[in-house]
Amino acid sequence: MRFLFSTGSLYTYGLARCFALAADVGFDGIELMVDDRWDTRQPRYLQALTDRYGLQIHAVHCPFRPVPGWPSGKVETLEHTVRMAQALDTSIVVHHLPMRVGLIILLIQGHRRILPIPGWHPDRTYRDWMAGEGYRKLQEESGVKLCIENMPAWHAFGRRWNGFHWNSPDRLTRFPTLTLDTTHLGTWGLEPAAIYTQWRRRVAHVHLSNFDGREHRRPEVGHLDLARFISALATDGYSGSVTLELSPDALDAGDDDEHIRQALSASLHRCRAWASVPQPD
């Protein structure tokens, strides 16, 4: 398996700086998080970064929201992302499930609060397209694997909410290729190794991070048994990519670059050690 660095882990940094840090630490490649910066959406520039740092872009993550100069609809945005992946000779495009309800995000005393709004269905067109022939046709004709990502729980009004269509381990198996996101499973109280045994051959990509009540922690810091999960992948002969997709604060973004390099190096070393230990029968 390959270990990739997600540029989303340091999305507040310039893209070239993300490539440089990943190259210094020894990652096997890059997962590109597409956002509103043109640097993340221009294949010629991205290829120049790949050549300069010797890191191939093995996965492209569809943007979370509309970005300047691209179509605003989620179907069209995904199609645009696929075309960019083709231009980069990248075979994996990660994208999100359609939302069941709309939401409002509030910042209260420095903490983000998500409030679902029942009766508001902002992703109805996207959902219908994914449930019909359009999604299957794009996957078959593009030559790109569209890897649906399992999504986290929302916490509001003292309870846990599922804000996305098909967002449960049994219903996600309707899709042929999945991105297994470990920290998102953690928000539901699920262990990645157990879900992997259920999804198995549908897992074409992995987002790796831990969960300690906060999402996207470093792999060795949190409640999830990621050693068991990575070992299960290795034992199973998983040959795809595992992306470290972290929150910038988990890496102390803004600190000296050497501090960030050391943190990333420690996490990458731990992941490779886990991969070298076979899972007991």
Find the largest Cα–Cα distance for the chain. 52
Contact at 8 Å (CB) between 162 and 188? Answer: no
What pLDDT is attached to residue 233? 97
What pLDDT is attached to residue 163? 87
185, pLDDT greater than 70: yes
What pLDDT is attached to residue 235? 95
- Taking only the tens place, the pLDDT of each residue in 240-255 is 999 999 999 999 999 9
18, pLDDT greater than 80: yes
DSSP 128-161: HHHHSHHHHHHHHHH--EEEEEP-PPEEETTEEE
- Taking only the tens place, the pLDDT of each residue in 194-206 is 999 999 999 999 9
78, pLDDT greater than 70: yes
The token pair that represents 227 in the structure block: 């050693």
Radius of gyration of the chain measured on its C-alpha atoms: 18
Residue 122 binned pLDDT confidence (cut-offs 50, 70, 90) = confident
103, pLDDT greater than 90: no
34, pLDDT greater than 70: yes
Residue 161 binned pLDDT confidence (cut-offs 50, 70, 90) = confident
Angle at CA 131, nearest 5°, toward 130 and 133? 80
DSSP at 39? G
Mean pLDDT (whole number) for 61-69: 94
What pLDDT is attached to residue 156? 65
Q: Where are the beta strands (DSSP E) in the chain?
A: 2-6, 29-33, 57-61, 92-96, 102-108, 111-117, 145-149, 154-156, 159-161, 178-181, 203-208, 241-244
Q: Which is higher by pLDDT, 280 or 65?
A: 65
Distance separating alpha carbons of residues 62 and 32, to the nearest angstrom: 9
